[in-house]
Amino acid sequence: MKKILVTKPFLPPKESYEAYLGQIWGSRWLTNMGPLATELEVKLAQHLNVNNLLFVTNGTIALQMAIKALDLKGEIITTPFSFVATTNSIFWEGCTPVFVEIDPSTLNIDPSKIEAAITEKTSAIMATHVFGNPCDVEAIQKIADKHDLKIIYDAAHAFNVKIKGRSIFDFGDISTCSLHATKFYHTVEGGLVISKNKALKNKLEYIRNHGLNGKTEFASIGTNAKNSEFHAALGLVNLNYIDVILRQRKKITQRYEERLQNKVIFPEWNKEATQNYGFLPAIFESEEQLLKVKEFLEEHQIFTRRYFHPALSSSLPYMESCHLEITENISKRNLCLPIYYDLSLEDVDKICELILKVIA
Which residues contact ligand T4K (rule: CB under 6 A)? 5-9, 58-60, 82-83, 85-86, 128, 154, 156-157, 178, 180-182, 191, 303, 307
**Tell me, what amino acid is at 191?**
G
Contact of 56 with 40, CB cutoff 8 Å: no
Cα R_g (the chain), whole angstroms = 21
- Tell me the three state secondary structure of residue 227: coil
How many CA atoms, within 13 angstroms, populate the side-chain half-sphere of residue 179? 28
CB of 190 to ligand T4K, least distance (A): 7
Nearer to ligand T4K, 29 or 241 (CB): 241
Contact of 191 with 178, CB cutoff 8 Å: yes
CB of 56 to ligand T4K, least distance (A): 9
Rounded to an integer, what distance in angstroms lies between the CA atom of residue 128 and that of residue 142?
Answer: 17
| DSSP code string of 259-312 | HHTTTSBPPPPPTTB-------EEE-S-HHHHHHHHHHHHHTTB--B-TT-S-G
Nearer to ligand T4K, 60 or 133 (CB): 60
Nearer to ligand T4K, 5 or 219 (CB): 5
Strands (E), the chain: 53-56, 75-78, 96-99, 122-128, 150-154, 162-163, 166-167, 174-178, 191-195, 212-213, 217-218, 281-283, 334-336
Nearer to ligand T4K, 284 or 308 (CB): 308
CB of 182 to ligand T4K, least distance (A): 5
Nearer to ligand T4K, 131 or 256 (CB): 131
Using CB positions, name the residue nearest to ligand T4K: 59
CB of 102 to ligand T4K, least distance (A): 13
CB of 95 to ligand T4K, least distance (A): 16
Nearer to ligand T4K, 165 or 299 (CB): 299
Nearer to ligand T4K, 189 or 349 (CB): 189
How many CA atoms, within 13 angstroms, populate the side-chain half-sphere of residue 150? 21
Residue 360: Cβ within 10 Å count: 6
Rounded to an integer, what distance in angstroms lies between the CA atom of residue 270 and that of residue 267?
Answer: 9
Nearer to ligand T4K, 206 or 308 (CB): 308
CA 121 to each of CA 156, 177, 273: distance values in angstroms, whole numbers, following the listed order: 26, 27, 33
Rounded to an integer, what distance in angstroms lies between the CA atom of residue 117 and that of residue 125?
Answer: 10
CB of 5 to ligand T4K, least distance (A): 4
Nearer to ligand T4K, 67 or 263 (CB): 67
CB of 321 to ligand T4K, least distance (A): 21
Rounded to an integer, what distance in angstroms lies between the CA atom of residue 5 and that of residue 307?
Answer: 14
CB of 253 to ligand T4K, least distance (A): 18
Rounded to an integer, what distance in angstroms lies between the CA atom of residue 332 and that of residue 322?
Answer: 16
CB of 147 to ligand T4K, least distance (A): 24
